[in-house]
Amino acid sequence: MSSGPGANAGCIFCRIVRGEAPAHVVYEDEHTLAFLDIHPLVEGHTMVIPKAHYETLETVPPELVGRVFEGVRKVSEAMRRALGAEATTIGINNGRAAGQVVPHLHVHVLPRYTGDGGGTIHSILHRPARRGLEEVQKLLQSSL
């Protein structure tokens, strides 16, 4: 499946954007759409997506990344006001190996509360480093 602007006929999120599939939309602007997850981890679990079809964060044009994250910011703020959330956890499963099920970039925003039993981002992966910090730093810097 290719990434790029526009819609993907087989993509459920593109179908939602086009109004061909139902969704509980909580926010929309020219470039983004935010709707409740149909399998919420917690009440208010929301996904923010670009309306154009892009599979992963790296394929989204830089000018659109900011617009998507402005939607994330607005949804996070609304969760604090409307649901009384004390905090939010914001995450992206960026690619199949990371657990991305729908191949359309989506940012999960979850309201959080003291004692809710949820973990931190540090609780999702525990794989020992094979290289030293300096080596990894050089590899990443050379690729940027």
Greater confidence (120 vs 52) lies with 52
What letter does residue 67 receive in the DSSP assignment? H
Q: Which CATH number is associated with domain 12-143?
A: 3.30.428.10
Q: What is the pTM of this model?
A: 0.89
Where in the chain are the domains? 12-143
Residues near 27 by beta carbon (within 8 Å), at least 6 away in sequence: 33, 34, 48, 71, 74, 75, 78
- Position 1 confidence tier, pLDDT thresholds 50, 70, 90: very low
Confidence (pLDDT) at 2:
40
Answer yes or no: are the C-beta atoms of 32 and 24 closer than 8 Å: no
What does the mean pLDDT of the chain come to? 93
Q: pLDDT tens across 64-121, in order?
A: 999 999 999 999 999 999 999 999 999 999 999 999 999 999 999 999 999 999 988 8
| Six-digit token string for 10 | 């087989």
In angstroms, what CA-CA distances link 21 with 36, 101, 144?
Answer: 13, 17, 39
Confidence (pLDDT) at 4:
54
State what percent of residues in the chain have pLDDT above 90.
Answer: 81
Supply the residues annotated as catalytic.
106
Give CA–CA dist 112/63, Å, rounded. Answer: 29
Confidence (pLDDT) at 5:
59
Q: pLDDT tens across 36-48, in order?
A: 999 999 999 999 9
Answer yes or no: are the C-beta atoms of 91 and 121 closer than 8 Å: yes
